[in-house]
Structure 1
Amino acid sequence: MTPPPAHREATPEPEADGIPSAGEAVAAASKRSALLGAIFLMATSAVGPGFITQTAQFTLQLGAAFACAIVLSIIVDIAVQLNVWRVIGISGLRAHELAGRVLPGAGWALAGLVVLGGLVFNIGNVAGTGLGLDALLGVSPKVGGAISAVVAIAIFLSRRAGVALDRIVVVLGIVMVIATLVIAVTSRPPVGEALVNVVAPEQFSFLAVTTIIGGTVGGYITYAGAHRLLDSGTTGVESVRDITRSSVTGILVTGVMRILLFLAIFGVIAGGAALNPDNVAASAFESAAGEFGLRAFGLILWTAAITSVIGASYTSVSFMTTSATPARTRNLLTVGFIAVTSVVFLLIEKTPTELLIFAGAFNGMILPLGFGLLLWVAWRRRDLLGGYRYPGLLLGVGVLAWLLTLYLAYRSFLPLWELWFS
C-alpha cells in the first residue's frame, strides 16, 4: 500500500514577471491608505480655527514679511515631527507609554495634560464647525455645531472606523487646500514680494514664529499622526523610511495650507482693501471673490474645524488607552469625547475665550515635556527602540528645537498666570 504523501504547507504561487499577487496588492494599497491617513490626520489637526485666525492676523500685521516666519516655522516643525514620529514609530509605543518607561508617573502627567488640553480645545473646534456652516449655508452656529458633531460621531461608529477616518481626513484635507488655492489665485498676491521677504524680511516677529510653531505642533497635534501610524501597524526599524517620509509630508501639507492662506489674504491686503479686524479671514475672502469668497471661507473653516474635532478627539483618546486596547473600545471612547465637548458648546452662552486661553497655555507646556522625554528615549534608551542606533544629527536638531519649545512654554504660561491671578 502506498503511503499517503507527506503534508506540506501551501506555498503561494510564484509571481509572474515580478507582478505582485492580488493579496500583496491589497496589502500595499491598505498600507498607502493608512500612511495617507496619518499624514492628513496630523496636517488637518494642525489646521483648525485657531490656525486660520493666527495666519490672518499675522498677515494683516506683517504683510509680506510673514512669509519668513512661515518658512522658519516649517523648518522647526519638521525637526520636531521627524523625531517624534521616528521614536514612537520604531518603539511601537504611544508617547505616554514611552514617558512612563522613562520616568514613573510621567506617562500619567503627559496623558492628563493632553486630554485636558484636547477636551477644552475641542469645544472651540466644535464652535468653529458651527461658524463655518453659518458662513457656508447660513445655518445657526449652534445648529451647525450639533450637525457637525453628529457627522464626526458617525465616523467612529461605522463598522470600519479606521478606514473611514483615513479616507475622510484625506478628502477633506484636499478640499480645504483646493478651496484656499482658488481664493489665493483670485486675490492675485504679489508672490515676488513675498519670496524676497522669505530671505530678507522687511520686519521680523519672533512672536509670530513661536506662536505658529505652537499652533502647528503643540499639544495633541504633536502626536496625532504618529499615534495613527501605530494603529495602522506601521512600526519598527524596517518602517523607518515610511515613518520619515510621512512625518515630513504631513508638515509640508500643513505648510502648503499656511502659505496658500497667507497668499490669499496678502493679495487682498496688497490690493488696498480694508478688512474687518474682528474677522480678517472672512472679510479677505469676501473682498477677493464676493459672495463666492464668503462661501468658500465657510467651507474652509468647516473642513478645518471638523477635521480638528476628529483629530483632537482621536488623539486625546489615544492617551487614555494603550496599544492593547480594542479598537471598538477606543472608538466608543472617542464618540463619548466628541459628545461631551459638543454638549458643553451647546450649553455655554458665549465663545469660551478663557477656556481656549487655558488650553493654549497647557498645549504650550505639553510640547517640551513630551518632546523632551522622547528625545531622552532616542539618546539613552536604545532598549525601547529595539537596539536602533539613533542618528546623532537628527537628535542634535531635535535638541535645538526642544530648547525653542521651552521658550514657547514660557510664553504660554504667561496668559495662564494672568488668567488665574489677575
Structure 2
Amino acid sequence: MKEKIKEETQHCQGKKGFLAKLKQIGPGALVAAAFIGPGTVTTATICGASFGYTLLWAMLFSIIATMVLQEMSSRLGVVTRKGIGEALRNQFDSPTLKWMSIILVISAIGIGCAAYETGNILGGALGLETITGISGNIWGPVMGIIAFLFLWTGSYNIIEKILVGLVGVMSVTFILTAIIIRPDIGAILKGFFAPTIPKGGLMLAVSLIGTTVVPYNLFLHASAVQERWNSAEELSKSRLDTLLSIGLGGAISSAIIITAAATFKDTGIVPNNAGEMAIQLEPLLGTWAKWFFGIGLFAAGFSSSVTSPLAAAYATVEALGWKNDFKSTKFKLIWGIVLIVGIIGSGLGKSPVTIILFAQAANGILLPIIALFLMILMNNEDRLGEYANSKFQNLLGWIVTAVAFGLGIKSLYSVLQKLIG
C-alpha cells in the first residue's frame, strides 16, 4: 500500500514537474508564432500541391537549422544580456568593419521585415476576404492599423500570451487533419530522408527554408529571452522552450505539406487563394473548413504582422546603441516605419501569393549573411566565456550556414537567369 502511494505521489510530482516546464514556454513560442504565418501556410500548401511529399526534407532541414541558430541566439541573450545588434556593434575594433556590419545587418533586416510585413498583412487580409468577400486590399490597411494599436500598448506579456494561444490552435487543427487523411507513410519518410530537388522546385525549397529559418527571428529571440530569464543558470529552461516550441512549429508546417500533398497532388490543382487552400482541412472540418482556414490565416497574418516590426525595432536600436525599450520613441519609430511600409504594400492591389513567395525567397537569400554574423558572435570567448560555441555546436552551425549559402546562391542565380531572360 505504501509503495502504491509512493508511486502515485511520484507520478503526480512528475506531472507537476512537466507542467511547470511547460509554463516556462514563452519566447520560443513567440518565434514559432512568427514563422507559422501566412507565408508558411501558403508556401507549405503550394509545396505539397506541386511536388507532393518530395520537399519534406527541406522542412526537416529548416527545423533543425532553426533549432541550432535560435538556440545560439537565445544563449547569447541569456548569458550576455545583449541582443544580436548590440553584440555585433561591440564585436569589431575596426570602425570600418563595425559600421559595415551594422549597415549590412540593418539593411538585411529592414528589407526582410518590410517584405515580410506586406506578405503578413496581405496573408491575414486574404483570410478575412475568404470569410467576408471583401477585398484583401481593403482589409490589409485595416489589419495594419489594428497591429499598430496592438504594438502601441508596449506590453510584451499580452503579445506573448496571445501568440502562444494561436500556435496551439493551429497545431491541433493541421496535425489532426494530417492524421485523419491517412497519408502514404512510405512516401512521407522518403520525402523527409531522401533529399531531391525536382525540376522547378528550387525556389520553393528555398522559400520553405526562408519561411521557417527567419533571419529577423534571431534578433527577436535574443532580445525576448531577456524578458523571461535573468542568468546563465536558466539556460536549460531557455533551451527547452526553444526545442519544444520550434519542434511544434515544424510539426505544424510538415502537417500542412502532408495535407496539401494528399489533397491536391493527384488532381493537378495548385491552389492560388485561401478558399482553395481550405479544401485540405475538409476531412476534419467539413463545410466549416473555409471559415476556420480563413480565421486561421487571419490569425497567422496578424501574429506575424506584430512580430516582424518588433524584430526590426530590436535589431535597429541595438545596432545603433539606442535605448532598447518598448515605450521609447525611437523604438516605436522603427516598428512604425516597417508597419507603414506593410500597410502601403497591402493596399497596392498586388497578388498576395506572389508577394508572400517573394518574401520567403528573399529571406532564404539573406539568411546566410545573418547566420555568418551569429557564428562570429558565438565564438567570442571574451564575451561568452564557457558558454561560447563548443566544437559540436560550431560543426552544426557551420553546416547550416554552408547549406544556406549554397541554396541562397543557387536561388539568386535562378532569379538572375529569369531576369536576364
1:205-241 residue CA offsets vs partner (Å, 9 max, x unmatched): 58355442222113313333332213x1525422321
Residue pair 1:368, 1:409 contacting (<8 A) in 2 also: yes
Instruction: List aligned pairs for 1:234-273, cutoff 5 A.
Output: 234-269=229-264, 273=267
TM-score, L = length of structure 2: 0.80
Larger radius of gyration: 1
Which residue, out of 158, 162, 172, partners 1:164? 158
Contact 1:285 1:293 in 2 (8 A): yes
Counterpart of 1:190 in structure 2 is: 183
Distance 1:416 1:192 in 2: 34
Match of 1:51 among 36, 40, 57: 40
Pair 411,49 (structure 1): closer, same or farther in 2 beyond 3 Å: farther
CA distance in 2: counterparts of 1:391 and 1:235, whole angstroms: 22
Kindly indicate whether residue 271 of structure 2 is the aligned counterpart of residue 282 of structure 1: no
Does residue 225 in structure 1 map to residue 221 in structure 2?
yes
C-alpha change, 1:203 and 1:287, in structure 2 (3 Å) is farther
2:395 corresponds to 1:392: no
In the alignment of these two chains, the number of paired residues is: 388
Shift of residue 132, structure 1, vs aligned partner: 0.7
Q: Deviations over 1:63-82 (max 9, x none)?
A: 23344443333223322222
Partner of 2:343: 343
Deviation at residue 305 of structure 1 after TM alignment: 1.1
Superposed displacement of residue 164, structure 1: 0.8
Task: Tell me by how many angstroms 1:403 deviates.
Answer: 0.9
SS of structure 1 residue aligned to 2:218: helix
Q: Separation in 2 of the partners of 1:242 and 1:352?
A: 38
Where in structure 2 are the equivalents of 1:104-119 lying within 5 Å? 104-105=98-99, 106-119=101-114
SS of 1:321's equivalent? Answer: helix
Bigger shift: 279-288 or 97-106?
Answer: 279-288
Task: Note closer, same or farther for the CA distance 1:141–1:359 as it changes in structure 2 (3 Å cut).
Answer: closer
Alignment CA distance shift 1:358-1:261 (3 Å): closer
1:375–1:398 CA contact under 8 A, matched in 2: yes
* Structure 2: stretches of 5+ with no match in the other structure: 1-18, 93-97
Distance 1:93 1:168, change over 3 A: same
Where 2:90 maps in the other structure, the secondary structure is helix
Q: Which runs of 5+ in 1 are unaligned?
A: 1-27
Q: Aligned equivalents of 2:364 and 2:192: distance in 1?
A: 28
* Residue 118 of structure 1: how far off its partner (Å): 0.4
Q: Pairwise mapping of residues 4-403 of structure 1 onto structure 2 (< 5 A)?
A: 36-103=25-92, 104-105=98-99, 106-158=101-153, 161-186=155-180, 188-190=181-183, 192-197=185-190, 201=194, 205=198, 207=202, 209-230=205-226, 232-269=227-264, 273=267, 275-279=269-273, 281-285=277-281, 289-322=285-318, 324-329=323-328, 332-333=332-333, 336-337=336-337, 339-345=339-345, 347-351=347-351, 359-360=359-360, 362-379=362-379, 381-386=380-385, 388-403=387-402
Deviations 1:292-349 (A, max 9, x none): 1122221221122111111111101111213743321266336624641353035413
Deviations 1:90-112 (A, max 9, x none): 22221122222223111232022
Task: Give, in angstroms, the shift of residue 147 of structure 1.
Answer: 3.4
Q: Residue deviations 1:111-154, cap 9 Å, x none?
A: 22102220122011111111011123434313322332233223
Q: Does the Cα contact within 8 Å between 1:132 and 1:298 map onto a contact in 2?
A: yes
Q: What amino acid maps onto 2:367 in structure 1? A: L
Taking the aligned partners of 2:408 and 2:196, their CA distance within structure 1 comes to 24
Equivalent-residue separation in structure 2 for 1:78 and 1:148 (angstroms): 30
Say if 1:337 and 1:174 are closer, same or farther in 2 by CA, change over 3 A. Answer: farther
* Equivalent AA in structure 2 for residue 172 of structure 1: L
Letter in 1 for 2:218: T
Structure 1 pair 48/390, CA: closer, same or farther in 2 (3 Å)? same
8 Å CA contact retained: 1:64, 1:266: yes
Percent sequence identity over aligned pairs:
19
Tell me if the contact between 2:51 and 2:261 (Cα under 8 Å) persists in the aligned partners. Answer: no
Q: CA deviation at 1:354?
A: 7.9
- Does structure 2 conserve the Cα–Cα contact (< 8 Å) formed by 1:73 and 1:210? no
